[in-house]
Structure 1
Amino acid sequence: MSGGYAEARDLILKELAGALGNVEETEVSRLVRMICDAEKVFVVGVGRVLLMLQALAKRLNHLGIEANFVGAIDEPAITDRDLLLVGSGSGESAVPLAIVKIAKRYNAKIAHIGSNPNSSMAEYEDLFVRVPCRTKLNLPGEIASQQPMSSLFEQSLLLLGDTVAMLVMQEKGLDDLHALWKKHANLE
């Protein structure tokens, strides 16, 4: 790619459309239901993936769903009434995999958003939402990207999270957008 901003923007938007266009709607619907049914939602990932999931956790809190990220100083205990939402393209990242195993010992539900349906996490998952972006494993069926490393997966995860938040709003009948600001941080 040798062009400027417009060419890069168009490439990214095209890749995002391809990645998100290949996410199964039924899997997303099940994820929304699991989020709404959970007493608490926990998110775990590493690096930029964790940042995308923290954005979703923040939004879920705005929607009245208690959401936490694993490792936060105020993280509560996970129980069998809770959901652990894991982000890992490869499904082989050491920290998320270890956390999945611990959460399963407490009988928490596990939803994994990733690219590799045959990962080491598969045996612990209650739901797998596939975003078929290229991972560090470079597996067959992954969507190629001209962006660096796993940027396409991370971008897709952020936008999928925003889509899930909108669907949670619909599920919960939250149609007063102005009222949502009452749960927004105000020490700014």
Structure 2
Amino acid sequence: MSFAIAQQRIVTEISEAMSAIDTAQVDALLEGILAADRVFFVGVGRVKLALEGIAKRLAHLGIDAVVVGQITEPAITSSDLLVVGSGSGESLFPLAIAAKAKQHGATVAHVGANPASAMGQHADLFVRLPVQTKLGLPGEIPSAQPMTSLFEQCLLLLGDAIALMLVDRSGTPLHDLWRHHANLE
């Protein structure tokens, strides 16, 4: 397979999946982010990497964003939001963290591909990325990519779309965002 064919397949899959996301679910997540004092993120593997990118971008927007497990992680409270990235909604570590966050009164948002997962018992908000899973759920966007690549790609782009929506809503000039960018580089 050539690069041209591979990249076109990937871009087509991403476009189809992103277009199928329920905008009301995204709007609810956006409102949850705005209402929170701090936004915590938890995931594992490549999902965690995508969430770290989202957390960094929200920090650029002046939002207090925390990745669970960071050495400087503060206590979560009832004024905070935990965003859980888990395609299956069954990953043990994110499930345990979501349960713990609920014990502390935090709001929990799940971004995943499986609306009937165990995460549903903890999540106050759900954004479905309707991508192919090993479960073969109705409405899944098929993917030629290995493993859960399409989920991770769409997760990162969801975060970028939310960041763009936040910038638009605030009216902040893009150049002003640089004041929050790391400067020890």
TM-score bracket for this pair, using the shorter chain length: over 0.9
1:77 matches 2:79: no
* Counterpart among 23, 26, 35 of residue 24 in structure 2: 26
* Counterpart among 37, 40, 45 of residue 38 in structure 2: 40
Decide which moves more: 132-141 or 97-106: 132-141
Aligned partner of 2:118 in structure 1 is 120
Matches for 1:1-188 after TM superposition, within 5 Å: 3-174=1-172, 176-188=173-185
**Partner SS state of residue 115, structure 2:** coil
Give, in whole Å, the separation in 1 of the partners of 2:183 and 2:156: 23
1:78-117 CA-to-partner distances (Å, cap 9, x unmatched) read 0000000010000000100010000000110011100100
Give, in whole Å, the separation in 2 of the partners of 1:92 and 1:143: 20
- Give 4+ residue runs of structure 1 displaced > 4 Å after superposition: none
Give, in whole Å, the separation in 1 of the partners of 2:36 and 2:167: 15
- 1:186 is matched by which residue type in structure 2? N
- 1:178 is matched by which residue type in structure 2? H
**Partner SS state of residue 118, structure 2:** coil
Give, in whole Å, the separation in 2 of the partners of 1:146 and 1:116: 19
Give, in whole Å, the separation in 2 of the partners of 1:139 and 1:90: 11
The normalised TM-score by structure 1 is 0.96
- RMSD over aligned Cα atoms: 0.9
Unmatched tracts of structure 1, length 5 or more: none
- 1:9 is matched by which residue type in structure 2? Q
Structure 1 position 55, deviation (Å): 0.4
- The alignment covers a number of residue pairs equal to 185
Unmatched tracts of structure 2, length 5 or more: none
Give, in whole Å, the separation in 2 of the partners of 1:119 and 1:126: 13
- 1:129 is matched by which residue type in structure 2? V
Question: How high is the sequence identity, in percent, across the aligned residues?
Answer: 55
